[in-house]
Structure 1
Amino acid sequence: MDWRSLLGLTLTGLYSVFVLSLTIPNWNEFSSLEPNEWGDFLAGTAGPLALAWLVLSFYQQGEELRNSVRELEDSKNQQKKLADRNKEILELEARRQKEVTLSRAYELFSDLQAALRFLPDRIDHVKKKVTYKCAAQGNYQSSYRISTERELDSFAASAEGLGKDLREYSSMIGEEKSTLELIKTNAALYDLKNRTEYLFRKLDIIEEVSEGVGTTSDVTTPSDFSGE
């Protein structure tokens, strides 16, 4: 029980004893009082007691209000801690996402570099094979050889363009870049990768046609760009 309640009960008990100590010895006089006089007596005796309880209840409400304020402060602090924790989690996830995206960008760039370094040799190898095949069959001036060599020359030009694009993207990869910038760069690198794979697949087809049946090449394309 709260100390204010105990104080109120104690004061009520003492005050009641005090009133009774005045009333009982003079009961003959009190018993002759008119009803309106009894009302005045009871109002007068109960007034101080009611005032005491009013004051005590005021302090009690003040204490409850302070407790409510403390609870609100505690709740506010807990919410702030939770918000800070969520912020830390989001920042960690953002850093992890950036690391993954950056790692993928370096991986794509490295694979493309290797493939585009190899691509000119692959084109030259297929061109020599087509030339040799046509010469061996006595069709060196055939329209097939001429059109195929033109197509291979266009592949070489495309490979040059891909290499130029790749060099431009090299400046778009780094720790200083935002995750969104890296995602856009990765999308562009995937596009280069698809275009490079397309050239390798076309070279495989041309080589198969030149052989007549199957693919018999002594040059191995990188696995990521073989078109398999």
Structure 2
Amino acid sequence: MSALPPPPLPAAPSLALFLDIDGTLVEFADRPDGVRVPKPAITALAHLQRRLGGALAVLSGRELAAADRLLAPLQLPAGALHGLQRRAVDGTLTTTAPPPLVAGRVDAACRAGAAALDGVFVEAKAGIGFALHYRGAPAQAEAVRALAAEIAATADGHYLVQHGDCVAELKPVGQDKGSALAALMQTSPFRGRVPMMIGDDLTDEPAFVAARELGGHAVIVGGRRPTVATHALASPTAVRAWLAAMATARGSGVPA
């Protein structure tokens, strides 16, 4: 398998940039609330937002409020909760949610199941998404996956299991990062630009596909393979360096 090249530094007027957070912009932490975004990265994103005329968005598995806290004072267009929460440039919010009774049942089942598995904990996201984390207990991976599958099977078709890096997430059906990217690309200032998605996890693959289908580029962070990505960066440190360079570079244009 040939190595993927690093991404180019496209000319700002042509680019629409989409960025994951955990594992991409910043390194993972043992718990989601332990993640911090370095101030120089926030500064680079603020410069990029201006250079791109606002065509900069985050596509994250985090709920929107959590993403905003990490990136404060920025409030970028977003596809949060894997696209279930979308925020347009003008601040308009769109949420896809399951029936409350079903969400409550899934929440309770996740908490009861996690309580029986040492080292596993539940991250509730806006009351509609529920992530079973086992980063601190990798030996529980199979048990967590089985638990998640069992819960999804009893959710009346409203939930599916989204696997990620040391997490199995009960996610409402209907949206993903790819649909969020495609929706934002239909709006100003993204419309007519070349999309580039930067992400690291399986949850980013739908956005990679969407970016490529729109004539753009997909950048995977780290060594996970296989992938449909067209370019690669080695780590979040490399991503932050690329963003800093992009924030000040004149750009050479996106290659065909």
- Would you say same fold, with TM above 0.5? no
User: Which entry has the higher C-alpha Rg, 1 or 2?
Assistant: 1
Task: Report the TM-score, using the length of structure 2 for normalisation.
Answer: 0.24
Task: Report the TM-score, using the length of structure 1 for normalisation.
Answer: 0.26
Query: Higher helix fraction: Structure 1 or Structure 2?
Result: 1
